[in-house]
Amino acid sequence: MKSQSFISRIPTLRGGATRRLATLRPVGRGLLVCITIALATTFIADHYGGPTLLYALLFGMSLHFLSEEGRCREGIEFAARTVLRLGVALLGARMTLEQVGDLGLGPLLLVVAAVAGTIIVGALLARAMGLGRDFGLLTGGSVAICGASAALALSAVMPKTETSERNTILTVVGVTTLSTLAMVTYPLLAGALELAKVPAGIFLGGTIHDVAQVVGAGYIISEQTGDTSTLIKLVRVAMLVPAVMMFGWLFRASRRSANQDEGARKIPMLPGFLVGFVVLVLINSVGLIPDTVNEGLSTLSRWCLVTAIAALGIKTSFQKLAVVGWKPVLLMAAETFFLLLVVLGCILVGGIGG
């Protein structure tokens, strides 16, 4: 009797599985496109050099027509939202609290002051240039913390407007380009200023935007400089936690002051991906994550971010970017120069790292 009842349920189970597959299929199509772009651009970057995220963005933009075509739209949205947040959360596997403590108080205070100052300056300059406070906060946070990854994380808790995705793309393009230029020029500047290995590491880790470019620039000089610059950079990545929390609080407060309570409720005070980031840092700090797993999580984080940026590229057209003009580029260049002055000033005048 039991076997007969099970057999009689097979059509029902099959129908349920078919319905579930039918709901996943629209997501799968668009997600597969984004993963394919990530694979192609990673191969190009690994074999011929260059920034993977920028390649993924440009490849995605060349396929903008897919965002207007119904079969791939859901998967592209899934990659730009859910995959993005997973990638940011997994960044926590890169660092421990012990690494932060080993730096000492001086470099830590420098990182905090530089990050906070750059975000504030970005907001003020953007408002003065007519670009809006929100865009200045986004670019300032991206320049100050960890480049394209910070742009993606911060935009996830900012209000969604007609221009929010375009602003995110502009920020990613700008900080990635500036970070690549810095990777080439900043080691030369450190040599011209005759910085010792540790101060040079603090300089590179405190000023270059993206983690990959920091690693590349640091180990150009020496292994000790590379280790120091990577550690400083990871401390800047950790500043993503208070920055996202502050952005979430700020935009909730501004929505409420404008009597937009429904919109404010959509911006969580502590997003799930940020909780995941902190939890991974704490777990890694007590040594519960084996090195092989840790390396795997870091690799997965990288793949998630490349896939997400490909999706954002697909959702953005060259036409929309062309109407923005030169002001955003000037804004990000000014923020980068401000960060450079603050960090170099603290090293040369304040003696940090000496």
What are the tens digits of pLDDT across the range 76-100? 888 877 887 788 778 777 777 776 6
Residue pair 52/39 in contact (Cβ under 8 Å)? The answer is no
Rounded CA-CA distance 78/180 in Å is 29
- pTM of the model as a whole: 0.67
**Rg of the chain (C-alpha set):** 22
Which residues of the chain register pLDDT less than 70? 1-26, 69, 99-100, 102-103, 212, 216, 253-274, 316-325, 353-354
Give the pLDDT confidence score for residue 337 in this predicted structure. Answer: 93
What residues contact 228, with CB distance under 8 A and at least 6 apart?
A: 197, 198, 200, 201, 202, 205, 218, 353
| Neighbour tally for 281: CB within 10 Å | 22
Other CB atoms within 10 Å distance of the CB of residue 171: 27
What's residue 268's pLDDT? 47
- Which pLDDT does position 334 carry in this prediction? 92
Find, among 305, 314, 109, 291, the residue nearest to 211 by Cα: 305
State the pLDDT at residue 121.
Answer: 92
Q: Is residue 136 a contact partner of residue 123, using CB atoms and an 8 Å limit?
A: yes
Q: What is the pLDDT of residue 318?
A: 63
In this predicted structure, what is the pLDDT of residue 124? 92
